[in-house]
Structure 1
Amino acid sequence: MISFVIGALVTVFTFYIALIYASVTIGLLGFAEAILLVLAFLFLLWYRRKIEADIQIPIAVAEPGEKVRLTLAVKNHSRISCMKIKYRITCENAFIGKSERAWQKGAPVYHGKNEYQQVIYPEYAGNYEFGLKKIKIYDLTGIFCITKKVGRSCNVMIFPELISVGVHVSEHTRNFFGEADVYDDFHPGDDPSEIFGVREFRAGDKMQSIHWKLSAKSDDLLVRENSQPKACPLVFLLEPPHMKKKWKKKKAKIKNEEKFLTVMAGVVFSLMDAACPHYVAWYSVSRKDVVRIRIDDEESFYMFLCYYLADGYVTAPQPLPTMYKEKYKRENLLYTMYLDASMHLILNDKEIVSLDEKDWKEKMETMELML
């Protein structure tokens, strides 16, 4: 609409000059400008209803520095081509709080469906939300334009770099017995709250384990087998770095958060790869409380990453270990691992390694966790 305001001011100025100099020619020029202004405005009002726009990302998962293609899809329902159009694109990383916005010039829009590719290279890990907020549609002269709100968005998840950590799991840890909501699918156990299966009676079976109702319907005695809970021996607490006054440049803050994500992802993945089921807990932005996710396999690992990166970046109002103990008072675990805001990795109140220096990657690669 600013272009029409400028056009109206130019038209008024033209008529003003025509009156001062009593020029018929300049006056006719002013009338031509006024007619062009009105026709352009009416045309764009009609044309705006014929244009639909959307933003899409074919691949929703990538790594830092990897090429990501944004697809701008524009559908023109009219027979008249739009030779000039601009897109208002926004980009926001929920975890690190980084956001950018810019006007992107697009190619001509012809009749039917038009798709245009925009290649980007996300530098940092996180959940990126790309939004197409509005578009500017220009008339045939390319001078006047009108804005149309779109309000479309899409997401791409940029996973952090995975650095393997040495993890050695003892038999005591591997056979840890405790309460759990997940049960072993292959081995029976001693938890009577969940039935593993039913089988024929064998010598040595207890009379209490006989399923009398099913046995009455068959010719043989049938025994009920209890399930084996798959308890987690370890919880990994995550407390992201605090905002520091000495971080004068925002890029330094982002790099510190990127390091935190890399360390966190490497430790969690290595525990999962060593077949050590565990919980990962943190203070959630959306729930305003401590939440946790159980990690058993790659599927649960990547589900955790998606949830954590989308949740955002916040500091807990109290020390995270204290909040976790208050919420899960009756829980008995073998290990409590804690990655604090100063990038110190702590296991059962003993510091394993400090990763706040420049050689933190080398320390991670040589580090070993004895569980």
Structure 2
Amino acid sequence: MKKKVSYIALIICTLAVALFWDNDIARTLLSFELLLVPCLFMLSVYLERNLSASLVVPDRYVPKGEKFEVDVHVSNASVLPMSTVPVTLLCHSRLSSRESAYTRDAFVTPGSGSSLCFYLRTGYCGKLYFNIGKVAVKDYLSLFTRECSVSEHSSSVFVLPRIHMLDMARVLGLSESVDGELFSKLRHGEDSSEVFDIRQYRRGDSLHSFHWKLSAKTNDFMVKEYSLPMNETAFIFADMSYKGTGDERVSVMDAFLEILGSVSWSMAAASMKHNVIWWDDKEKRVMSRFVASESDTYSMLEQLCESGIYEEPVDVGALYENREIAADSNTMRLGMDGCFYHNGVRVKHIDYDKVDEELTVWEI
């Protein structure tokens, strides 16, 4: 705006000189200044039509607290250089409902492109959405500014929580066989490859479970109880009901994801396949994600973040009907209050102000 005012003042001064002094140079200069205005306008239109921008996110998963990169690639298809192209990048967090804007200027040579690198950092984990807010081009005197049409397509980055390696085999009461498979030390199952316990015969026991040699020695019928393998027998219920707002909501969700991510990642690293189940208040349905690897944990956390926090408590276990949970299955539940339950018993309350300390020395 200042440059427009300055240019108008220049035209008025030139006009005054041309009126009071009969001088060809002044009249020529005035004509040039007046003709330059529509030329610069047409130039800005030409440059705007040959300008395009696209968003590039190199990494979809980034660690919390570390710098990550978001690029905006600006292309110039004209035969003229574009000296100052202001580009605005918008960042939106659904969890906090906040939007931040970052602006940088690009210089784009004719027939080529230029990449603007925005280096960002966040202290909270969660999903961030990026899109190009505005890309503008100016004429060479900056009298006219025209915004380039940009795609409304957005890209996202999931900021990962800190992951702690927990001894989940000890937490859940598991033992390892000679083949490296994990079995429950607390509950029996139907896997005959591993014996859980030997006990006296009870009515209804199968003949296949009889321990004949021991029965002959003790003169009493003895049967073998087989082990429960930890293949798909673990279920984690994530209760995301919370009535807080603002920064408190973001802080609590950050600690919740750090705990859940550490538990799930540690189980996957120990080859303990499990299902994570939660309530999606937007879709009004129970969500379930099967986790068999560390990468599955990251995908699960991202999907869980999209569901978001809800205020009214929901009994996720009672609503879960996609799969029958056997009575001898290992079930866990983590609430937004930091309470961790195993098979219905609260075994740990994690102080959200000391999450790193408590997860590092977590013993159950």
TM-score calculated relative to the size of structure 1: 0.70
Q: Is the 8 A contact 1:90 1:130 kept in 2?
A: yes
Secondary structure of 2:46's aligned partner: helix
How far apart are the structure 2 equivalents of 1:357 and 1:314? Answer: 17
- The answer for the alignment partner of 1:221 in structure 2 is none
Q: Quickly say closer, same or farther: Cα 1:359–1:68, change in 2 above 3 A.
A: closer
| Amino-acid identity (%) | 15
- The answer for the alignment partner of 2:159 in structure 1 is 158
Q: Quickly say closer, same or farther: Cα 1:149–1:114, change in 2 above 3 A.
A: same
Q: 1:24 offset after TM fit, Å?
A: 2.9
Q: 1:343 offset after TM fit, Å?
A: 1.8
Alignment pair present for 1:332 and 2:336: no
Secondary structure of 1:342's aligned partner: coil
How far apart are the structure 2 equivalents of 1:161 and 1:356? Answer: 16
Alignment pair present for 1:346 and 2:341: yes
Q: 1:337 offset after TM fit, Å?
A: 1.5
Secondary structure of 1:268's aligned partner: helix
- The answer for the alignment partner of 1:115 in structure 2 is 115
Give unmatched runs, 5+ long, in structure 1: 179-183, 188-203, 205-227
Q: Is the 8 A contact 1:336 1:347 kept in 2?
A: yes
Q: Quickly say closer, same or farther: Cα 1:62–1:164, change in 2 above 3 A.
A: same
Q: How many residues align?
A: 312
Alignment pair present for 1:368 and 2:363: yes
Give unmatched runs, 5+ long, in structure 2: 176-182, 194-207, 209-227
Q: 1:31 offset after TM fit, Å?
A: 6.8
How far apart are the structure 2 equivalents of 1:341 and 1:103? Answer: 36
Q: Quickly say closer, same or farther: Cα 1:300–1:176, change in 2 above 3 A.
A: farther
Secondary structure of 2:301's aligned partner: helix
Q: Deviation per CA, 1:65-112, whole angstroms, max 9, x where unpaired? A: 222222221221112101111112111234454421233222344431
Secondary structure of 1:267's aligned partner: helix
- The answer for the alignment partner of 1:59 in structure 2 is 59
- The answer for the alignment partner of 2:239 in structure 1 is 239
Q: Is the 8 A contact 1:128 1:157 kept in 2?
A: yes
Greater CA drift, 295-304 or 256-265: 295-304
Q: Deviation per CA, 1:26-73, whole angstroms, max 9, x where unpaired? A: 997987665443222221112111112112122332211222222221
How far apart are the structure 1 equivalents of 2:83 and 2:239? Answer: 51
Secondary structure of 1:162's aligned partner: coil
Q: Quickly say closer, same or farther: Cα 1:141–1:323, change in 2 above 3 A.
A: farther
Q: 1:272 offset after TM fit, Å?
A: 2.1
- The answer for the alignment partner of 1:263 in structure 2 is 259
Q: Is the 8 A contact 2:278 2:288 kept in 1?
A: yes
* Paired AA for residue 102 in structure 1: Y
How far apart are the structure 2 equivalents of 1:254 and 1:287? Answer: 21
How far apart are the structure 1 equivalents of 2:332 and 2:7? Answer: 69
Secondary structure of 2:264's aligned partner: helix
How far apart are the structure 2 equivalents of 1:81 and 1:25? Answer: 40
Q: 1:230 offset after TM fit, Å?
A: 7.4
- The answer for the alignment partner of 1:173 in structure 2 is 184
Secondary structure of 2:258's aligned partner: helix
How far apart are the structure 2 equivalents of 1:316 and 1:253? Answer: 11
* Paired AA for residue 170 in structure 1: L
- The answer for the alignment partner of 1:90 in structure 2 is 90
Q: Quickly say closer, same or farther: Cα 1:348–1:263, change in 2 above 3 A.
A: same
* Paired AA for residue 342 in structure 1: D
Secondary structure of 2:336's aligned partner: coil
Q: 1:260 offset after TM fit, Å?
A: 1.2
Q: Is the 8 A contact 1:96 1:312 kept in 2?
A: no
Q: Quickly say closer, same or farther: Cα 1:273–1:140, change in 2 above 3 A.
A: same
- The answer for the alignment partner of 1:191 in structure 2 is none
Greater CA drift, 88-97 or 26-35: 26-35
Q: Is the 8 A contact 2:63 2:162 kept in 1?
A: yes
Q: Is the 8 A contact 1:56 1:153 kept in 2?
A: no
- The answer for the alignment partner of 2:128 in structure 1 is 128
Q: Quickly say closer, same or farther: Cα 1:156–1:276, change in 2 above 3 A.
A: same
RMSD: 3.8
* Paired AA for residue 307 in structure 1: Q
Q: Deviation per CA, 1:305-346, whole angstroms, max 9, x where unpaired? A: 33333x242316542335535x35843253332111212112
- The answer for the alignment partner of 1:315 in structure 2 is 310
* Paired AA for residue 343 in structure 1: G
Q: Deviation per CA, 1:203-251, whole angstroms, max 9, x where unpaired? A: x9xxxxxxxxxxxxxxxxxxxxxxx99753221111236242xx6xx44
TM-score calculated relative to the size of structure 2: 0.71
How far apart are the structure 1 equivalents of 2:316 and 2:307? Answer: 20
Q: Is the 8 A contact 2:96 2:247 kept in 1?
A: no
Q: Deviation per CA, 1:144-190, whole angstroms, max 9, x where unpaired? A: 21111212433322211101223224255389759xxxxx9xx9xxx
Q: Is the 8 A contact 2:240 2:336 kept in 1?
A: yes
How far apart are the structure 1 equivalents of 2:304 and 2:316? Answer: 18
Alignment pair present for 1:39 and 2:27: no
